[in-house]
Amino acid sequence: MSLLKQAVSMTAMNLRSIGQRRGTALVAVVGIAGVVAVLIGIFSINEGFRAVLEIAGADDVAIVLRGGGTDEMTSGLSQEATRIIGDAAGVLRKDGNPVSSAELYVIVDVPLKSTGTPANVPLRGVGPQAGSLRQGFHLLEGRAFTPGTNEVIVGRGAADQFVGLSPGSQLRQGTNVWNVVGVFADNGSVSESEIWSDAIVLQGVYNRGTSYQSTRVRLESAAALQTFKDALTSDPRVNVRVLTERQYYGQQARALVALVSILGSAIAVLMGIAAIFGALNTMYSAVASRTKEIATLRAIGFSAFPVVTSVLVEALFLGLIGGVIGGAIAYVGFNGLRASTMNLSSFSQITFAFKVTPALLTQSLVYALVLGLVGGLMPSLRAARVPITIGLRDA
């Protein structure tokens, strides 16, 4: 009998006998499923956070900060600078006016619905064209705020996650009261984590004079970025840093994505070790219960290779079952789940939805197979190395 036929025969016997060892097999499957579910849950935070920022990023919208500023919190622009930015070459104009929005960014404390504890929420002062500079901006409830008044509109994510941000509510910050008049959506982007007000009103409330922190402009096209950037960097009246929205939000995503990746990898390794021990226990038990059977097959001509192959295939099968179950649990439990976390670049809360992607499911399934393979390797080698006479005697 060829080695391949021997391997197929022994593997089939192994798989048929799993039901007789379902207790120990279940230990391995549950362990691997748990590792996969937790692993997907952790990394779906990364995918959701990255998606929120990528949705907001456009190549034909530029964000202008003060020279040397890394984000809006460390930036500052004068009113004259925002005018120069809007008039620069490469900026799209409608009805003779530049499509731009000089914006102010502050942080306010709003309680989380889940815990009741205060959290940092972005309050953004915007210009009249702020909505047209976002790709999918539209009102879901209520109306837009009236310029010159203490009215605000809130993003859908902020309204879902924080207390008192529904239309008709009042947001009290110190002695100031903001009236919530509408809720907006923006295709799930980072803007949905914010509260928007009239920039000029916000300047007065926070004693910012006529200063801003950033200016958004829509370019004539993505190719006009260099023209726009050259016009500003060569103008001695301003000292600014120019990035596309995609570049800006890509930089903001790096810190949290790196942190979650490191923590997720560490947890995956630690839990993976525990799962491997479960698989080892299962496969050693399987080998021990079939010592006489394996020795008998060796005595009638089966070689070591089919023995090793059959044990490894069984371990891979258990890993596959655990991976599929873990992936299904993670998809049902995490995909689309809305939450908020700290944006490490702006130290404010950002709302997002967990995102279980096909790539993440595939990677986790491969990891489950690796766990099964490693867990079955040593038992398979042990089964193949047991002398025939000892296997028959021990049985």
Residue 277 CB-density burial (10 A; 0-12 exposed, 13-18 middle, 19+ buried): middle
| Strand bridging mode 118-126 / 195-198 | parallel
CA neighbor of 317 nearest in space, from 20, 34, 32 = 32
Give dist(CA 95, CA 17) in Å, integer. 78
Digitized pLDDT (tens) for each residue of the chain, 395 residues in all: 577 787 787 778 777 777 777 777 787 888 888 888 888 888 888 788 777 776 667 889 999 999 988 888 889 999 999 999 999 999 999 988 999 999 999 999 999 988 888 888 999 999 999 998 988 899 999 999 999 999 999 999 999 999 999 999 999 887 789 999 999 999 888 889 999 999 999 999 999 999 999 999 999 999 999 999 999 999 999 999 999 988 888 777 777 677 777 877 787 778 778 777 777 777 677 666 666 666 666 676 677 777 778 778 888 888 899 999 999 999 999 898 887 766 666 666 677 788 899 999 999 999 889 888 888 777 777 766 766 666 556 54
Which residues, 6 or more positions from 146, have their beta carbon under 8 angstroms from its beta carbon?
Answer: 181
- pTM of the complete model: 0.71
DSSP states along 128-170: TTTGGGSTTEEEEEE-PPPTTSSEEEEEHHHHHHBTT-STT-E
